[in-house]
Structure 1
């Protein structure tokens, strides 16, 4: 049974084939795509969202580091290269591992074993930390305190180093980043509409086409929120619009 997905970005067809041969010894990893340059690699990764990326460093025009700079989210990255001088730099990009070609099967297998443990631990941690609609969170601002059910929150919004939480008629500030909050919210209920805001989909009263392919939504309490162009596409897909 295949549990994790992988893509290869490598300009050498021979090297890509060698990696695919190495992967045959690991039936739990599904190879779902390959690309021979950075531009095609970025397109493939954004489309398939793999768990693992096997990435060459030296490629024509743009290198493996350039590819990582073009991604908003990165899978677990395993650099595969014939050169060892990039090892230190690779870990500045949070690389999971660095494999020197030609890659021995034993060394490759150890990397896969570590990857599978890492992904399994991450999934357990996410499931334990994830909030549900019925979860309650404690919010404190100055002398005021609230115990709020997640489903009642309409909007999270960045305000400087704080995040404003909208529920009922209250709008307290909490000292947490929007990224921290987003990682714990139920994804079927909450949607990141732009860099500054996350909305509760159940709080939407109206959706209106806006400028340049964007959308605007009106929430309860007449809150109007603009969805970025990129997120508008995802929003339509998620809601089947």
Structure 2
């Protein structure tokens, strides 16, 4: 079994002790050391190049977020903090997980499992890792579900929603998250079947049940699964113009 090297960056002695205790039963994780403040964390991460860092957000010298902004080495990150208002920022900075103190062993183990699963499933998280490859329209995408990776036929995708980095794919009553922006997927999806209806949503026209204009003359698309998605004005005009 390959091991993943770990560094604990935490200014509270009791929190460091808890993390050490929780790490001990994991043979896949090898603790390289600890840092007690933000400046030491920055130095030790750059020097030791751990693969996984448990990082407190509120630390002396530099905060965990400031450390991350200055890093050249990019380990997997699990943030630890007593303040839940930092959760959104943590995930925007690509943290794998966010442990809110005081956290249980079960919650810690779930975060570690997520790190190890992301490593195993990494080939499914990038557009390049698509069965068939090539530059033509995609025919299938590798997705992950409960620790398993399997090919999802593109024709079965019903609709997609996205933020800047992730896309939520809906198919057959299931949802899958892939680390591919919708803009990249759009470039490889068949334009005769898939239509981007606004900045963060795309639909498979084969799964549109009906369309109805709202008070602003924008079309609301009712999908077969019951999802309602609003097309922007430009797309609404396009769709109305195509109606026979």
TM-score normalised per structure 1: 0.49
TM-score normalised per structure 2: 0.49
